[in-house]
Structure 1
C-alpha cells in the first residue's frame, strides 16, 4: 500500500488509474488485517455447540435470530442455564456476522476495483502474451470478487439463516486456488510487460511483435526515431528542503533540481521550459504565480559529475556556485544541478526538455515532458510522454500542454 501510494503521488496528482490502484491496495490491506480478526473468531465459534430444536448445532449453523429466539423461549420456560447459553451463542453469532461482513466487504471492494483497473490495462498491453495473461488475471480477480460478494451476502443473511457455509472447506479451497492462480499469473504478466528499450526490441522489424507502422522506408525512419528517443532521453530528479518542524514553525527553503542529458548534445543548446504547478483536488491544475524572472533561476546552476545523479545536497545552495565539473569526453552524460529558492510548501514541478534540430525531436514537436512532486527524499521525475506515446491531451493533466512559460536556453559543455 505504501509503495503504491508513494508511486502514485510522485507527480503530485492522482489519476483515475492511480486512485483505483491505491484504493484496491488499501482494501486488500484492510482485508488482510481483518482476516487476523476473523480467523480466530471462526475457530472459537466452530468449537461452540449446543442443542437447538433437537439438533446439535455450532454457532454459525443457525441464524442469529434462532439463537435469540431460543434464549427467550428458555427464559419463559424458566430454564435459566439454557437461556444464558443461547444468549451467549446469539452474542457470538452477531459478532461473527459483523466481523465476516467487514472482511468479505473489503475483499469484494478490493477485487472489484482491481478487475475494473485490469479492464483498462488490457488495451495497453505491450504484447499478445501480456494481453492474454491480463485477461486471465481479470477472470481470476472477477472470480475472487464473486466469491467475496457471495460470502458478504450469505453472512449478511446470517441474521435469518445459517451461514456456516461461507467458510466451509469448498469455499476456502476455491479461494486458495484463485489466490495461487492470481500470484502465478501476476508474475507471468510482469515478465511479459515491456517498457523502454525492451519494448522497442519486441516491436522492431526483426522482433517477435513487429508492428506494421515500422515496416518499409517510412516505417524504418519511425523505428530508428523511437530507438534514438529511448536511448537519448534525459533524466530529471529533485529534492525539496525545509527547516524547523516539531516545536518550531517549518520554513520551506526551496529545492534542488538535476537534469541529465546524453553527451551527444555537447556544445549544443537545449531548450528548457519549467513551470511550478498549483494542484487542486477537484479542479484542474494550473500554473502557480511566480515573481518576475523567477524561471531565470533555473539557469543559475552548475555542471557536476554524472556519477552524482540522484545524490543531492542536504543543505540549500548559496549565491556562489562551485566550479563546473570538467568533462573529459569519456562521460556518457552531462549533469546540470541548480538550487531554486521557493518558499511555498509541497512544490510540484513540470519541466519540458527540448533537444535542438539535428539531434532529435519528437514527431509532435514536443520535448520530453516531466512532472514531479518534490519532497525531502530525492526522487526521479515521472515522464509524461515517451517514444511509444501519442500526443498528450488535456485529459492527461499536464499543464504545460495548455499553458507555457518563458523558454530557457541551456548550453551543454563539451
Structure 2
C-alpha cells in the first residue's frame, strides 16, 4: 500500500539517478527527459555549477528567518529586476504562492477586488489561484470559489473590453498558456489589453511561472511582445529544482506590501537562493539565451519536417523550448507510448503533446527525441 494521498496519476517509473537530459529508474532503464520536471530543471538534472553553489551554502547555514538581512536575497532580487526591468521582489516557495502574492498585491494596491483571467489558464491550486484558473476541472468538488474572478477567452478583444470595469484590479495572464494547451496570446491582443488596463487604473499581472527563466529564449516571455507588466510571477526554473518562487513588481506598489502585510517562513531560503543565483547567472547570459532561441527553432523545424504531413497532427506551436504538438485526438496515449520507448513528455490540455527539454539540450538529444516522437505518432501502438 501507499502512504501518500492519491493526488497524482503517477507513472510506473521510479527515478534513482539523473544527469543532464537523462533520468535512470530503479530497473536501470534510461529515459530521455523532455519534461525537465515540468519546466523546472532548465539546465538539466544536477548541473555541476548549481550543485557546487548549493553545497557551499549548505556548509554555511540553511535557514534563519526573514527577520534577518539576507545578502543572497538582495543579490537574486537584483538579478530578477535587472533581467525584467521591474524594481522589487518578494520571495515565496512556489508558483502558486507567487501568484497568491500577486493577487493580494494587486487588490491591496488598487483598492479593487475583481481580477480578469482567461479560459484555459492555470495559475495554481491554492484557493485564490484555483479561483483564478480558467479550467473547471481544477475546481471540481471544492465548493464555491472566490467570487472576484472573471474569465474571458484568450484573444477575444470584445469580451475583454466588456469585462473590464471600475472594480477591475488587474488583468492576469500567461503569454503562452502551459497547462491549457500551449496557447499563445496574440501580440496585438495583449498590447491592447495592457493599454486597456492602464487607461482603467488596473494592473497587468503576467504569470511567468512556466514561461520564464529563459524557457522561450528570453529571460521572460513578455519581453517578446514589448509588454510592460506591473507584476510578474516566477518559480519553476528559477532554482534548478530547489523550491523557490517570487513576484517582481514596480516600485510604485511598495507601499501596499509594507511590514506585516505579507510573509513566508521559508520564502527566500538561502539554500534555494544559492541555487537560484547560480542558475540565473547561467541562463540570463545573452549567448546562452541566443542558443536557446536557435535550438528551439531547430527543434520546431525538425518536428515540422517529420510530422507536418501526418493526418493526426494539426499544428506545431509554442516558442523556444516550450513546444506543443496539437493532435486531432487525445494526447495521453501518445505520452504513454513515448515513455515505453524511453522518452518522457507531457500533455497540455487534452489534445496537445508538450515538450519541455532542458534549455541546454544537445542537437543529438533533440534528434533522438524527434525520432521517437515520429515513430510514436506515425505508427501509434496504444499502451494498455
Quickly name the TM-score band, shorter chain normalised. Answer: under 0.3
Which of the pair is proportionally richer in helix?
A: 1
Q: TM-score, normalised by structure 2?
A: 0.22
Structure with the greater alpha carbon radius of gyration: 1
Q: TM-score, normalised by structure 1?
A: 0.21
- Structure with the bigger RCO (C-alpha within 8 Å, sep 6+) is 2
